[in-house]
Structure 1
Amino acid sequence: MKNVIFLTLLCCILAHTAHSQTQPDSVLPVRGFCIGAPSPAGLNEFVKFIDQELAPRKVNTLILRVDYDYKYQSHPELSDANGLSKADIKKLVAACRKNHIRLIPQFNLLGHQSWAGQVFALLTKYPQFDETPWVKMPEKYEWPNPDGLYCKSYCPLAPGLHKVVFEVIDELCDVFETTAFHAGMDEVFYIGEEKCPRCGGRDKAELYAGEVSTLRNHLAEKGRQLWIWGDRLLDGKTTGLGMWEASMNNTSRAVDLVPKDVMICDWHYDRPEKTPVYFAIKGLNVITCPWRKPEFARQQVKDMIAFRNTATPEMKGRYQGMMQTVWSNAESFMDEYYGRKTPKDTLESASRCFRVMYNDIDVAISGN
């Protein structure tokens, strides 16, 4: 009889343990981490970081900002000289597969085709794709400036553009063995410019939504999902969010025009905004993305869990979870994370935000 009771208790414990292991998905389906790709020299330490830091925290989604840091076979002219090789990527794929982490590459599309005084390879090698070829890069970049230059954009209506873009997307998705692709598409200040012979005078919201749909449709042909940042779908004036975390150039109406299966990564770094509710009401799946302010991240975790717990069945599944963002490459972050470099602000840093956010997520999961 004692043996029966013992076995019954053991079965209950094992069943509870198994249930607990599946519980995180019911609390926060996406537990993400977004960072710039490591260099080949930093690859092995980053794989170790995946094993020893991401996996124990039950991170299940890793977005790697690759851009030009890969040795493309389809378009070698776009590759950085120190880019990752196919073999390097396969090491990352293996590490993520072992740890049950969904690995998603990012290549910035539409906007972010330059930074400060540097034009990136897509517009350098294909200047005919430039939305604003009359805007020249200054010797010394300053913001604000007379040209309104933050980052260059490509023209979404440029002939031949999508042949190049699609080949890059397909190659990245194939080598990453992924079912999703992150196209960036944030902070697009140049779109539908009057002097552009192709898209000048067109509705900026329709142009933006058209490019989202074009990318989404291409990915969907191979069963892949499009992820983007959400700022261009928010009205910066009505909300008071301004020109960075939202749009002041009339792209916000695109929120009603984009396909509903696009994943929205909703970033807010200066206030824990409640905009996930807006995206969910619009029928879009949404992830909240903090960066460097731990106290805001804590509130955002509470909010996302509350949204899920109090939502109607129709809305609950649209609140997908949380993703820590890191706006440096992997080596710089790991130098800070492992104490080899002290951040400018020790209380507000991506490494501290990451630790605090995932500690709160762990507490929330443990309590369910």
Structure 2
Amino acid sequence: MKRILLIITALCLSFLVNAQDELPIRGLAIAVPDKATVGRFVKFINEELPPRKINTLVLRVDYNFQYKSYPELAQENGLSQDDVNKIVTVCQKHGIEIVPQINLLGHQSWASNLGMLLKVYPEFDETPGVTLPEKYEWPNEDGLYCKSYCPLHPDVHKVVFELVDEIVAAFQANAFHAGMDEVFYIGQEECPRCNGRDKAELFAGELTKIRNHLAQSGKKLWIWGDRLLDGKTTGLGMWEASMNNTHRAIDMIPKDIMICDWHYERVEPTAAYFALKGFDVATSSWRKGAVAQEQLTFLENIRKNAKEETAQHIKGMVHTSWSSVSSFLDGFYAPLDKSKVDDAVCFRMLFGE
């Protein structure tokens, strides 16, 4: 009897240990390093990610790459193809999928700084009449968080799709992350093309256009999911969800779009909502280790208890870092303090030591 109890106990412990391993996606979303940090980042990938069974890297590239299609859009001292090859090689060595990201639609500016796309092509600006202030503050009279490009401008997709194709090829990727989060400027009255248009239809149209372009070469679209959630009904508000009615786009877009569902302060059941709608979904954590672990438990419970039609769409966790790679690595290699609110500490708590 004692031997049988020991076997049962071992099996139960094995199930608990392996529960995380069953999640198809164990990911980290982080900026690409600057040129000086590429070697350190490659070392981190090689030594630290395989033991934690990380199999996905979402890399925010944006304009930090020496683009050949539109070199005028590349940031000064952007990564070369040789730099990128070092990251690709180490990821391929360990079976880690890279999903490169360029922010599309929204996030075309930050605070008082205009992004490269609108800096070079100001005609793409959805709100050209809104001037970036010398000192940015929120809230402000213009409702300015980040600028957007106009999704109906006849020339914008020729530019952004060439960038997308180039960066997907550079990283030898099978998927692309388009961002699409926190879009406040869409369907603005002052835009001659978007004025009077349904914001949900505009958002859905842009998502579908990006998805269809990627599908032509067999690539998958990833996005952040906040604009597909109703901020009013859920109480999630304007940051984690939409207050300008883009949430209705969820019923207008292809179901093969991968959703990264981010909530950083608490566990929200929205991953289940996306799964019930038929979308693959991964929950994204940031700086609170205890919250991240609760989110993981929530996902595991859905996968364990829901019908297969729903459970199959729960893909895992993609932890996010919004600092520089150097800052993240400094925190990662510092002594672990689980009481600290920090992206690197949260990553270590979520995926183990």
Q: TM-score, normalised by structure 1?
A: 0.89
State the Cα distance separating 1:35 from its structure 2 match: 0.3
Query: Is contact 2:19–2:300 with CA below 8 Å preserved after alignment?
Result: no
What are the equivalent positions in structure 2 for 1:190-205 lying under 5 Å apart?
A: 190-205=185-200
Distance 1:293 1:25 in 2: 18
For 2:68, which of 68, 73, 77 is the aligned residue? 73
For 2:230, which of 207, 221, 235 is the aligned residue? 235
Structure 1 position 354 matched with structure 2 position 347: yes
Q: For residues 277-325 of structure 1, what are the alpha-carbon distances to aligned partners after superposition, in whole Å with 9 as ceiling and x for unaligned?
A: 1101111110000000111101000001111111111111100100110
SS of residue in 2 equivalent to 1:35 = strand
For residue 342 of structure 2, what is the amino acid of its counterpart?
S
Distance 2:20 2:214 in 1: 25
The aligned residue for residue 112 of structure 1 is: 107
The aligned residue for residue 8 of structure 2 is: none
Distance 1:78 1:112 in 2: 15
Structure 1 position 334 matched with structure 2 position 329: yes
Number of equivalent positions: 339
Structure 1 position 245 matched with structure 2 position 235: no
The aligned residue for residue 54 of structure 1 is: 49
State the Cα distance separating 1:160 from its structure 2 match: 0.5
Unmatched tracts of structure 1, length 5 or more: 1-15, 363-368
Distance 1:352 1:285 in 2: 27
Distance 1:133 1:159 in 2: 16
The aligned residue for residue 277 of structure 2 is: 282
State the Cα distance separating 1:346 from its structure 2 match: 5.7
Distance 2:234 2:291 in 1: 18
The aligned residue for residue 365 of structure 1 is: none
Q: For residues 139-183 of structure 1, what are the alpha-carbon distances to aligned partners after superposition, in whole Å with 9 as ceiling and x for unaligned?
A: 110000000000000000011100001100000001111100000
Structure 1 position 129 matched with structure 2 position 124: yes
State the Cα distance separating 1:24 from its structure 2 match: 7.0
The aligned residue for residue 258 of structure 1 is: 253
State the Cα distance separating 1:332 from its structure 2 match: 1.3
Distance 1:167 1:248 in 2: 32
For 2:180, which of 185, 195, 211 is the aligned residue? 185
Query: Is contact 2:266–2:291 with CA below 8 Å preserved after alignment?
Result: yes
The aligned residue for residue 305 of structure 1 is: 300
State the Cα distance separating 1:339 from its structure 2 match: 2.5
Q: For residues 331-352 of structure 1, what are the alpha-carbon distances to aligned partners after superposition, in whole Å with 9 as ceiling and x for unaligned?
A: 1111221229x99x96110011
Distance 1:216 1:79 in 2: 24
SS of residue in 2 equivalent to 1:142 = coil
Structure 1 position 172 matched with structure 2 position 170: no
Q: For residues 193-247 of structure 1, what are the alpha-carbon distances to aligned partners after superposition, in whole Å with 9 as ceiling and x for unaligned?
A: 0111001110000000100000000000000000000000000010000000000
SS of residue in 2 equivalent to 1:328 = coil
Identify if the C-alpha distance between structure 1 residues 110 and 103 changes in structure 2 by more than 3 Å, giving closer, same or farther.
same
Structure 1 position 154 matched with structure 2 position 149: yes
For residue 69 of structure 1, what is the amino acid of its counterpart?
N
The percentage of counterpart residues that share the same residue type is 57
Unmatched tracts of structure 2, length 5 or more: 1-10
For 1:163, which of 147, 154, 158 is the aligned residue? 158
SS of residue in 2 equivalent to 1:243 = helix
Q: For residues 112-146 of structure 1, what are the alpha-carbon distances to aligned partners after superposition, in whole Å with 9 as ceiling and x for unaligned?
A: 00000000110010011000000000011000000
For residue 80 of structure 1, what is the amino acid of its counterpart?
Q
What are the equivalent positions in structure 2 for 1:24-39 lying under 5 Å apart?
A: 27-39=22-34
Q: TM-score, normalised by structure 2?
A: 0.93
SS of residue in 2 equivalent to 1:108 = strand
For 2:58, which of 63, 68, 74 is the aligned residue? 63
RMSD: 1.9
Structure 1 position 91 matched with structure 2 position 86: yes
